[in-house]
Amino acid sequence: MTTDVNENQDKKIEEAKKLISTIYSRSLKMLQLEFESFQVEGRIMNHPGFGPLFAYQLKDNDSDKQYACGFLMNEMLEKHKDAARAQQWLASFFIDMIDEQVSKPLPTPPQSQEESKKLFDQQIMPHCASSVREEFNTEKLYINISVHEKVGPVLEAGFPSIKDGNNVCAMPIQYLLTLYLLNRDPAEPLVNGLYLIREQHGLD
């Protein structure tokens, strides 16, 4: 019985490794096709809370500029259900960075809890607050930090004007920090969540 369980676990681990490798390689080839004039590199990292992370970097052959961006496993699985959509989605992040013509390697991760807090307080939180206020500039918004019993500290944003039903979107601070370190916009999931709330209440 124990042998069967171990063999089953080993099989699942091998299948997971194969899936991760397939997604990584497929995404790398997609970016190489999209950006033929760049040197495209990639690597797989592991996050203790979010699992495999896929990071890709474009190096400009005519300058020293670099453009890097990372992605989470669950979003890669979802996007790769449609290959054409996945390629377009992956490329969009790099197109925006290339258009800005500013070298953007992945940020250096904070080395301590204190550095993580400083990064969130001084950069991520103000950016998220200003982004959602700009996106919903005609609405009064609630923005606050709270603690969720299962996921820990979260950043909340919501509409006080909505009295019935759900009116708040909450994102784990660790998730927002991870997005930032992948050169992704940490405000995006909050903005999308707020639009979903408005849609659920028939406001958009």
The pLDDT score that the predictor gives to residue 64 is 85
- At the topology level, CATH places domain 2-100 in Double Stranded RNA Binding Domain (3.30.160)
Cβ 182 vs Cβ 55: under 8 Å: yes
Per-residue b or e along 55-66, where b marks 16 or more CB atoms closer than 10 Å to that residue's CB: bbbbbbeeeebb
Query: Among the residues of the chain, which ranges form H helices?
Result: 2-34, 73-79, 83-100, 113-119, 125-135, 173-181, 188-200
Residues of the chain with pLDDT under 70: 1-6, 204
Per-residue b or e along 157-166, where b marks 16 or more CB atoms closer than 10 Å to that residue's CB: bbbeebeeee
The pLDDT score that the predictor gives to residue 201 is 82
How far is residue 90's CA from residue 103's CA, in Å, rounded to a whole number?
Answer: 18
The pLDDT score that the predictor gives to residue 5 is 60
Domain boundaries of the chain, sorted by first residue = 2-100, 113-200
Q: Which two tokens stand for residue 95?
A: 């197109």
The pLDDT score that the predictor gives to residue 3 is 60
